[in-house]
Amino acid sequence: MNVFEELQWRGMLYDASEGLQEALSRQKVTGYIGFDPTAASLHVGSLLPIMGLVHLQRYGHTPIALVGGGTGMIGDPTTWVSILPLTICWPKNR
């Protein structure tokens, strides 16, 4: 079983771009999720994409979860620019 089949089997895959299954089996990919830093907390709706990253990682792909930074600048940032300055923090192993 590969990651594409795993996600299908678990009912986590509704639709996919043409060629995705072949790309996932041919090469390692990087998947990412961005979370809104202004939200009070994560919620159950955040679980599905997080678990998608977990399955990608289990099959040897690279997961990235982002909180803050550019994800906070989406939409109308006019009131947040002075409150939430854009900061970039890289993991120590980079």
Return the pLDDT at 46: 85
Tens digit of each residue's pLDDT (9 = 90 or more) over 43-81: 888 888 999 999 999 999 999 988 766 656 555 555 555
Query: CA-CA distance, 12 to 54, in Å (whole number)?
Result: 12
pLDDT value of position 31: 92
Domain ranges of the chain: 3-79
- 33: closest CA among 50, 13, 48? 50
Q: Give me the residue label for tokens 């390692």.
A: 28
Least confident of 5-14, 17-26, 76-85: 76-85
Higher pLDDT, 82 or 34: 34
